[in-house]
């Protein structure tokens, strides 16, 4: 009975500690305003903000996924790799793989990123389930995700997003072209009211637009639409199986 009590106490203590287990990684590196950032992660969130300094400030919080000993061990073995030169930074969430464990039991921890970078830096983000929030980037932005929602506000550069089920919301300060691909995810794009652009879209989910479109090609079965807004210009390309495209006029 005594041994049972001790074992129970240890298990309860472990559960209590691991329920709130977190660790932080903070680092600031030099980065040219004409440089680039590549970020690769799985679960959690990504919050990108900008400033005028030639520096990249990274704050990452790693959080255990559960209270099982295997969850805690995965948490303990998870870290963030940061490779930096003056012109490029690569950030990678290093999470133990199934092959590195004797058992498949256990859940991967979440990594929550808050990153501030020069506003003219190019971004490439690869993730699986992480939510992505990007603000005021004046350079090319590429996001590839599976289920994570993508929200990009104040964009002033080319935008590319590829997702399966994660919704896409983008607002442009200046439109330089966009390429959006999804399976069933909806996309909402807000552009300045006087923007002239070319639209190429195909989706069974339908297309709604606040902008009058001079239609060049329209297909009923595949819901294909090609046309121009104003005198035409940079192309907005949308390709989705079932996701709806919504074009908003930004006042």
Please tell me the distance from the alpha carbon of residue 169 to that of residue 134, in angstroms, as a whole number: 10
Cα angle: 95, vertex 65, 184; to 5 degrees: 80
pTM: 0.86
For residue 150, how far is the Cα from the chain centroid? 5
How sure is the predictor about 61, in pLDDT bands with cuts at 50, 70 and 90? very high
Burial of 98 (0-12, 13-18, 19+ CB in 10 A): exposed
Condensed to tens digits (0 to 9), the pLDDT of residues 150-183 reads: 999 999 999 999 998 889 999 999 999 999 999 8
Note the pLDDT of residue 219: 56
Q: How many percent of the chain have pLDDT more than 90?
A: 65
- pLDDT averaged over every residue in the chain: 87
Query: How far, in Å, CA of 167 to CA of 185, rounded?
Result: 5
* DSSP secondary structure of 43-93: SEEEEEEEESSSEEEEEEEEE---SSHHHHHHHHH-EEEEEE-SSEEEEEE
| pLDDT tens digits, 29-60 | 999 999 999 999 999 999 999 999 999 999 99
Of residues 206, 207, 205, 210, the one with CA closest to residue 229: 210
Torsion angle, alpha carbons of 23, 25, 26, 29, to 10: 180
* For range 86-102, the mean pLDDT: 79
Assign 18 a pLDDT band (cuts: 50, 70, 90): very low
């Amino acid at each position: 009975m005594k041994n049972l009590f001790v074992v129970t106490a240890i298990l309860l203590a472990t559960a209590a500690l691991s329920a709130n287990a977190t660790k932080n990684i903070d680092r600031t590196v030099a980065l040219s305003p004409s440089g680039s950032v590549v970020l690769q992660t799985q679960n959690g969130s990504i919050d990108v903000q900008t400033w005028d300094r030639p520096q990249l400030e990274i704050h990452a919080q790693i959080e255990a996924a559960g209270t099982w000993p295997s969850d805690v061990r995965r948490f303990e073995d998870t870290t963030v790799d940061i490779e930096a030169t003056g012109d490029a930074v690569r950030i990678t969430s290093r999470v133990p793989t199934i092959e590195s464990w004797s058992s498949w039991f256990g859940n991967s921890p979440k990594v929550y990123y808050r990153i501030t970078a020069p506003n003219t830096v190019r971004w490439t983000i690869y993730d699986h389930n992480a939510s992505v929030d990007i603000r005021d980037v004046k350079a090319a932005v590429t996001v590839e995700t599976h289920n994570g929602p993508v929200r990009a506000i104040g964009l002033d550069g080319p935008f590319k997003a590829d997702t399966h089920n994660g919704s896409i919301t983008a607002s442009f300060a200046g439109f330089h072209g966009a390429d959006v691909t999804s399976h069933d995810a909806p996309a909402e794009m807000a552009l300045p009211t006087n923007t002239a652009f070319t639209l190429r879209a195909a989706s069974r989910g339908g297309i709604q637009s606040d902008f009058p479109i001079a239609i060049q090609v329209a297909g009923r079965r595949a819901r294909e639409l090609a046309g121009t807004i104003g005198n035409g210009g940079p192309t907005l390309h949308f390709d989705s199986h079932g996701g709806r495209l919504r074009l908003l006029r930004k006042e």
